[in-house]
Amino acid sequence: MPTQAEWFDAPIVPHLPLPPVHPARPLRVVGALPPAVAAAIWRGDALGSPVSSVVSSGWALLDQELPGGGWPCHSLSEILSPQPSVLEWRLLGPALRQVVAQGGQVVVVGPPKQPHLPGLLHEGLDQRQLVWIQTDTPAERLWVTEQLIKSGSAGALVAWVPQARQEQIRRLQVSAQSCPGLVFLCRPEAAQHEASAAPLRVHASYGLDWELRVQVFKRRGAVHDGRVSLPSVPGGLVSVLTPRLQYPSQFLLPRESVSHAVGSLAPRRAVPRPVTH
């Protein structure tokens, strides 16, 4: 127990007058601001507003996750997928169909696989409005892509640039800011761990029963958690696929667990066979 003397070791400090307390001013909510100021304020939990026009992706669920409600113009959009030149056409097909319907051209640069014209026709893409540019080296792909972006002549540009570096994508983004059309860069899914100057980055993968699973992992605005499932059957197959082929998961039998089975199968005995000479 402390003694009485220990309580008085410290010098006694006289009480100083406290400063006057003023009542706190009420915070002004955004709704009380002038309309012009309130409209210019962006909240962290809201999607960013596009600085230019957009083209609907053709998927209502995906448009809800894209700033402005569609693929942005005057900007780069990255499409990452596990296998090149497969999911990109299914994901971008509805938007490219709108570009063609408005008289624009779709230019593809360096696709790993030759575009399948019958399938594109079923998607509403006329071959007369499709320009396919085949390149031999990564440097040629980047050069052709940059020239097409600067010219602004394509309604939509889809370029496969799997080996593009960060500074090269930044250079393309600077050029894309003056391009009125859509610009898509197709890259492998491993690139999602790399930094990129593209304002919009989307990862597409295979889902259940012809579904596309899309994750918007970079966009202007709040972070997108989870994935969007988009029902997507390639054009022309809906009328010929049977229900079993269109919805195979509904016809899979559940696996039955056998609890009484212990151990492994007995090894097969070797059967002697006559040797022929």
CATH number at residue 242: 3.40.50.300
Query: Which residues contact residue 211 at a Cβ distance below 8 angstroms, ignoring those fewer than 6 apart?
Result: 229, 230, 231, 232
Using one digit for the tens of pLDDT, what is the confidence trace for 108-136?
Answer: 999 999 998 888 888 888 889 999 999 99
Cα 143 to chain centroid, rounded: 24
Cα 73 to chain centroid, rounded: 16
State the total domains in the chain: 1
Domain that holds residue 139: 52-247
Query: Which residues contact residue 252 at a Cβ distance below 8 angstroms, ignoring those fewer than 6 apart?
Result: none
Q: Residue 27: inside a domain, yes or no?
A: no
Q: Residue 232: inside a domain, yes or no?
A: yes
Backbone angles phi, psi at 9, to 5 degrees: -70, -35
For residues 65, 70, 75, 79, the Cα torsion angle rounded to the nearest 10 degrees is 60
Q: Residue 42: inside a domain, yes or no?
A: no
Q: Residue 178: inside a domain, yes or no?
A: yes
Give the C-alpha separation, 79 to 128, whole Å.
25
Q: Residue 126: inside a domain, yes or no?
A: yes
Q: Residue 37: inside a domain, yes or no?
A: no
Using one digit for the tens of pLDDT, what is the confidence trace for 53-109?
Answer: 999 999 999 999 999 999 999 999 999 999 998 899 999 999 999 999 999 999 999
Is pTM beyond 0.85 here? no
Give the C-alpha separation, 216 to 47, whole Å.
12
Give the C-alpha separation, 104 to 156, whole Å.
8
